[in-house]
């Protein structure tokens, strides 16, 4: 998911460089949304692993 966010960020930068501001803003928004989804998914998985490891080694 982070690769997709990075792709949209690069598309946004290139579109902004060539003056396509609408496409640039849309792809920057998508990159931001995908980045925050990836962060939330990482935190959820980290908490699941933390609690399952705590119950296994108790």
Q: For residue range 4-17, list pLDDT tens digits in order.
A: 999 999 999 999 99
Q: Are 5 and 34 in contact (CB under 8 A)?
A: yes
Number of structural domains found in the chain: 1
Q: Which of 41, 42, 12 lies closest to 27 in space, CA to CA?
A: 12
Residues in the chain: 58
Q: Indicate whether 3 pLDDT > 70.
A: yes
pTM: 0.80
Q: Which of 28, 25, 23 lies closest to 8 in space, CA to CA?
A: 28
Q: Which of 40, 45, 38, 42 lies closest to 5 in space, CA to CA?
A: 38
Q: Which parts of 1-58 fold into alpha helices (H)? A: 2-17, 21-56
Give the pLDDT confidence score for residue 20 in this predicted structure: 95
* Structural domain for 2, as ranges: 1-57
pLDDT band at 58 (very low <50, low <70, confident <90, very high): low
């Amino acid at each position: 998911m982070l690769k997709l966010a990075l792709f949209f960020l690069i598309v946004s930068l290139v579109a902004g460089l060539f003056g396509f501001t609408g496409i640039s803003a849309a792809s920057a928004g998508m990159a931001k949304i995908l980045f925050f989804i990836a962060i939330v998914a990482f935190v959820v998985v980290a908490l699941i692993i933390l609690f399952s490891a705590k119950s296994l080694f108790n």
